[in-house]
Structures are given as structure tokens and as C-alpha cells.
Amino acid sequence: MAQRPGRIVVVGAGVIGLSCALRLLQAGHRVDVVARDLPLETTSSVAAAIWYPYLASPQDKVTAWGRTTYDEFARLAERGADGVLMRWGTELLSRPMPDPWWIDAVPSLERVEPRAPYADAWSFRTPIVDMSRYLSWLTQQVLDAGGTLTRLALAGLPEAPLVVNCSGLGSRRLATDLTSMPVRGQVVVVEQVGLEEWWLAEGEAGGVPTYVIPRVTDIVLGGTDDEGEWSRTPSPEVADAILSRATELVPRLAGAKVLRHKVGLRPARPEVRLERVGDVVHCYGHGGAGVTLSWGCADDVVRLAA
């Protein structure tokens, strides 16, 4: 007789922990999620969140995880999952560029005429996820599938037949991994002004990109990426700079009402860690692409848990 899969403790209730929990439940495991921060308090809740491989390595695995995740979000958008949309948009580049390294992860990408002062551009259709709605939806899916979610701040990984470590930056402590580092990101959320298309513009001379991500009821403007910076307090000067860059990119944003300022610490690492060591499956270090890689990584976690 086939052995029934056993109990698994998932540490972390961001997009990675919840996606892993749901896939493990769907594979027949008993799953308990424990987390210091509940879903709407996590870094994941701050994400913009457009499907786009940003600050995550290695390229071959990121492309494969990204492709799986793209396809799953396209299915979820069709099914009407809360907060998940598919939208066209354009990335503007300051220099002529070859196709992006992750091109195989998207069904199609069209070269388009860049507008001044940019030198190159491409457009593609991609998932956009309103995390405040989606994380609530995902949590409900986990609970409906028989999982549990408990607030618990851990000083070390728990004792359990199998632990899945999705603690993001918490892995500095829980996995004694000091290669995990924060990359601070600040965003400004403004009211929807009837925008449907997203925009991403490369900063000059490799500077920070500017992005405008229209969600269902609001628009996320960014961004910043400050490596090694731990402050979670939004800076008014940075917010002003984001608003001015975004409005220059999309003049229709002029005068849009500011709804919120947010900061999150991206859990960066030289490479995403997805491996099993004894009774622990580690899955963390997704940098600026945790949403983009979530379903692909969750499928690999299920394979490692088997």
C-alpha cells in the first residue's frame, strides 16, 4: 500500500510559504503554516507585483520557475482569482539590448519603437497581482484545503517530520545564512486614473528603474533598490522622487491622489536557495521576484518533500 504523505510545517506566510503550503496540501500532505508576520504584514504584501524576473538568480532556474508561475497566474486570472490580472505593458531601455535572458518564460515579447529619450523597448502581456487581495485569497485556499495558519515567532526551525523553510530574510537567523541580505524597496500607491497598461523604464547609467503598475483599484509607483538597507520607514524625499519620475513616464498620473506609502525589504541572496537538507526543505532568497517565481518554486518543493 502506498504510504500516506505526512505532516509538514511550513515556516513563513508570505507568497512563497503560502504557495508551497497550498501545493503540498494538494499533493495530499497535512500542512501547518507558522509565521511571525501574517500574510498582509509580510514583504510579499508590499510587492508591486508584476511578473518580472528582477534581482533573482540563477538565470536558468529563474526562467523555468518563472515560466511555470506565468502560466499558473494566467490560469488564475481566467478563473477570476482575487487580485490577479493579465496586462500589456512596455519596458523602455536606455541602450539597445538583445532579447532579455528570461524571454523563454513569456509566451511572446514584441520589439516596439522606443520613445525619446530611450534607445530600445519591448512590450509583453504579463500577470499583475494585487497582493492585498491575492494573499487573502491564497490564505483562504490554504485553509479550505485543510491547512492551518498560526502566528509564531521562532528562534530556530521547529522539530517536525518535515519543515519547509520559507522565511525569506528570516533565514539569516533560522538557517544561519548571512548571505541573505535586504534590498529595500519603497513604493507610492495612488488612486486608479483609468490606466490599464504598465510601464517599466530603465534608469540612466544603470540607475534604479521607474515602474507604474496599474492594479484593479489603484496604481503602484516605484521604485528603489537599496542593498543592505534595513529601514522600513518611508522617506518623503524618496516618495517625491518616485512620484516625479513616474509622472514624467506617464503624464496621466499628474494630480493622482496618493493613497499609501510603503516599504519592503526584498529577501535577496546570491542565488535562490531551493534544496533539501535532511528533514528541511529550504525555499528562500527570491529577491525582487518572489511573486514571479512562486508557483514554479512551490512545485519543486513538493518534489523535494516527496
Q: Which one-letter DSSP state was computed for residue 229?
A: -
Q: Does 168 bind ligand FAD (CB under 6 A)?
A: yes
Residue from 23, 29, 269, 286 touching ligand FAD (CB under 6 A): that is 286
| Window contacting ligand FAD (CB under 6 A); options: 37-45, 78-86, 119-127, 200-208 | 37-45
Q: DSSP per residue over 93-153, as a string?
A: ESS--PPPTTGGGSS--EE-PPPTT-SEEEEEEEEEE-HHHHHHHHHHHHHHTT-EEEE--
Angle subtended at Cα 77 by Cα 17 and Cα 63, rounded to the nearest 5 degrees: 60
Considering the complex, what minimum distance in angstroms separates the CB of residue 69 from ligand FAD? Answer: 8
Considering the complex, what minimum distance in angstroms separates the CB of residue 4 from ligand FAD? Answer: 27
Decide whether 43 or 210 has the Cβ nearer to ligand FAD. 43
| Strand residue runs (E) in 173-240 | 181-191, 198-201, 210-214, 218-222, 226-227
175-194: contacts with ligand FAD (CB under 6 A)? 185, 187
Query: Phi-psi region for residue 73, left (φ > 0), alpha (ψ -120 to 50) or beta?
Result: alpha
Residue 256 CA to residue 16 CA, distance in Å, equals: 32
Residue 84 CA to residue 146 CA, distance in Å, equals: 23
Torsion angle (degrees, nearest 10) of CA 236, 133, 305, 3: 160
| Window contacting ligand FAD (CB under 6 A); options: 98-106, 107-115, 165-173, 193-201 | 165-173
Q: Which candidate, 19, 6, 51, 295, places its Cα nearest to that of 166?
A: 19
Q: Which residue do the cell numbers 497598461 mark?
A: 197
Decide whether 5 or 222 has the Cβ nearer to ligand FAD. 222
Considering the complex, what minimum distance in angstroms separates the CB of residue 285 from ligand FAD? Answer: 8
Number of residues that bind ligand FAD (CB under 6 A): 43
Considering the complex, what minimum distance in angstroms separates the CB of residue 113 from ligand FAD? Answer: 25
Decide whether 122 or 211 has the Cβ nearer to ligand FAD. 211
Considering the complex, what minimum distance in angstroms separates the CB of residue 98 from ligand FAD? Answer: 23
Residues of the chain by 3-state class (helix, strand, coil), percent to 5: 35, 30, 35
Decide whether 117 or 195 has the Cβ nearer to ligand FAD. 195
55-94: contacts with ligand FAD (CB under 6 A)? none
Binding site for ligand FAD (CB under 6 A): 11-17, 35-37, 42-44, 46-50, 52, 152-154, 166-168, 170, 173-174, 185, 187, 222-223, 264, 266-267, 284, 286-292
